[in-house]
Structure 1
Amino acid sequence: MKTTNTLLAMAILASSSTAFAGTGATFESLDVDGNGGISKEEASADAEVMAKFDELDIDGNGELSPEEFANIE
């Protein structure tokens, strides 16, 4: 049972697209206004996200989508 619970927890964590190693931030915690994107102003709450913002903003629209944010490593 303990092994099953551990495996289930690992699967849930691995499938989460919002929490990333290296930063304590989640997409939801940075998307303060809840519009589905992270602006530079919102990203400034996390130094690592801010430092990589321009690299992550693949489409250059000035906001990170959930898919773009998922590329942080």
Structure 2
Amino acid sequence: MALASSSAAFAATDFDTLDVDGNGAISQAEASVDASLMSQFTELDTDQNGELSKAEFSKA
């Protein structure tokens, strides 16, 4: 159930809104404005590059 709640919260937060610098990825600094996203950042960052791609973000 928590996953569904998290997904709904992420859906409300648009990828492009979080990608402040427009580089096509969400850094930890950019994600820090969303506590729910930050709590899952490491898990979502499957390639462990310190950023979330649109594909990684969409799995939230």
Post-superposition CA distance 1:12-66 (Å, at most 9, x none): xxxxxxxx51233110010000000000000001111111000000000000000
When the two chains are superposed, the root-mean-square deviation of aligned CA atoms in Å is 1.0
Q: In structure 1, what residue type is equivalent to 2:58?
A: A
Structure with bigger gyration radius: 1
Larger RCO: 1 or 2 (CA < 8 Å, sep 6+): 2
Matched pairs, number: 53
In the TM superposition, what are the counterparts of 1:52-63 in structure 2 within 5 Å?
A: 52-63=40-51
For residues 9 and 24 of structure 2, the distance between their equivalents in structure 1, rounded to whole angstroms, comes to 22
Percent identity of paired positions between Structure 1 and Structure 2: 55
For residues 46 and 25 of structure 1, the distance between their equivalents in structure 2, rounded to whole angstroms, comes to 8
Higher helix share: 2
Given the two structures, how large is their TM-score scaled by the length of structure 2? 0.82
Higher strand share: 2
Query: Where does structure 2 lack aligned partners over 5 or more consecutive residues?
Result: 1-6
Given the two structures, how large is their TM-score scaled by the length of structure 1? 0.68
Query: Where does structure 1 lack aligned partners over 5 or more consecutive residues?
Result: 1-19
